[in-house]
Structure 1
Amino acid sequence: MTDEPLRVLVVDDQQLVREGLTALLELTDGVEVVGSAGDGKRALELIAGDPPDVVLMDLNMPVLDGVAATAQIRDRFPGVAVVVLTTYADDESIAGTLAAGARGYLTKDAGRAEIGMALRAAARGQSLFDPAVAARLAKAMSRPAAPPRPDSLPDGLTQREAEVLSQIARGRTNAEIAAALFVAEATVKTHINNAFAKIGARNRTEAASYANEHGLTL
């Protein structure tokens, strides 16, 4: 263990929120706020100059949002952990953020003690989630596993593309598919585009019909 304080960067597009979080964290034992930023791009610039231990990250921000910023931080600065603090607790936000590499997810109802625990857990490589988020994750993990696939998928489909087609056949939206597969919605869109090109589907109805005809939903 080290006696050095946990160095935290606060990122939120609202100045009042940034100042409030900074003041709150300064009252937390063992935590030092080393800077703040109003968008993901500025956060990356600050991290490049002086990497913190943990970034406390908002999601809905201009220039570069929290999900995209988290993905870039995890790619460019793997030693820096990210904990999300947001007003959103929907499946799409949760799935996208976790897929980007965040180690914690709290809503802005969280108190100082809970935020402090999440920051320390992230710095140790562990995760801590808001109770509502944890409940959603548990529900998603309890869903039936994806149906078995043929050893050789038709038309050169990858396993993930077949899973996405199966989800489309079940009538699920892109956001629902992202939550079910624990990937970002942008990733789902990429898989859909690739799958449609391979099977010659022009819309979701044709894709669903293909999935049923080829046994991808069994």
Structure 2
Amino acid sequence: MIKLLIVDDHAVVRSGLLLLLDGKQGIEVVGEAADGDEGICKAVELKPNVVLMDLSMPNGKDGLTATTELKKVLPETAILILTMHDDEEYLFHSIHAGASGYILKSAPHEELLWAIKSVASGNAYLYPTATKKLMGEYLERIKNGENGGTYETLSEREKEILSLVAKGYSNKEIAEQLILSVKTVETHKAKVMEKLGLKTRPELVKYAMKKGLLNFES
């Protein structure tokens, strides 16, 4: 049985989803919430397998913030974003926040049922055109020499070292500035290159320029 929590600020939407999903194909709706704050509290209390999360909730935490916080306390719970926004920015931010899936409210109910079962089993789910958008972003990264991870995957220390390396500081100079050993700086630098999929220092400098990290005033 898949334990499902519905988080949406519209009562009529929650009621409709309850009627549509509860008892269907092994799904049990164990609770509802009207905003992100309530959603987090209910999830911690009820331990659902899947949280069906709306993005735009004006009162309390929005869906993105709630998703990020919920994944920290319940990393095993899958979060499926159910939204009216067919927008790549929302899509990308949702995936980065830790959502396992993204589906539109205009989708047929059979597709919603399949999406819930998919994320509950540990798989990801995206509506068809969303896959095209993610592939488009990936291909653009390759084109721009950014075929690795994103800047957000770097630790704060790694971001510091990325900026300093791009500005031309040597490993020794960085070590002195950050009060680290040269070996530690070299290790961080290697991790930065690996995470971002970069092979050479010129690639790293190009990446830093695009990210606006070459401000020499500080």
| Aligned counterpart, 1:212 | none
Q: Does structure 1 retain, via aligned residues, the 8 Å contact 2:7–2:34?
A: yes
TM-score by length of 2: 0.69
Correspondence for 1:70 among 67, 70, 82: 67
Aligned to 1:59: 55
Partner of residue 133, structure 2: 136
Map residues 42-191 of structure 1 onto 2, 5 A cutoff.
42-61=38-57, 62-145=59-142, 146-147=144-145, 152-154=165-167, 163=207, 165-166=209-210
Deviation at 1:84, TM superposition (A): 0.3
Structure whose alpha-carbon radius of gyration is higher:
2
Task: Check if 1:13 corresponds to 2:4.
Answer: no
- In structure 2, relative to structure 1, the CA distance for the partners of 1:152 and 1:31 (3 Å cut) is same
Partner of 1:33: 29
Q: Whose relative contact order is higher, 1 or 2, with alpha carbons under 8 Å and at least 6 apart?
A: 1
**Distance across 1 between alignment mates of 2:97 and 2:132:** 20
Partner of 1:199: 216
C-alpha distance in 2, partners of 1:150/1:58? 37
SS of alignment partner, residue 126 of structure 1: coil
Stretches of structure 1 lacking an aligned partner (at least 5 in a row)? 168-191, 202-218
Kindly state the Cα deviation for residue 79 of structure 1 after the two structures are TM-superposed.
1.5
Q: How well do the aligned residues superpose, as a CA RMSD in angstroms?
A: 2.8
User: Structure 2: which amino acid aligns with 1:37?
Assistant: A
Residues 55 and 164 of structure 1: CA distance in aligned 2, closer, same or farther (over 3 Å): farther
Change (3 A) 1:151 1:63: closer
Q: Between the two proteins, what is the percent identity of the paired residues? A: 29
Q: CA–CA distance in 2 between the matches of 1:72 and 1:144? A: 28
Corresponding residue pairs, total: 170
| Unmatched 5+ stretches in structure 2 | 147-161, 175-188, 197-203
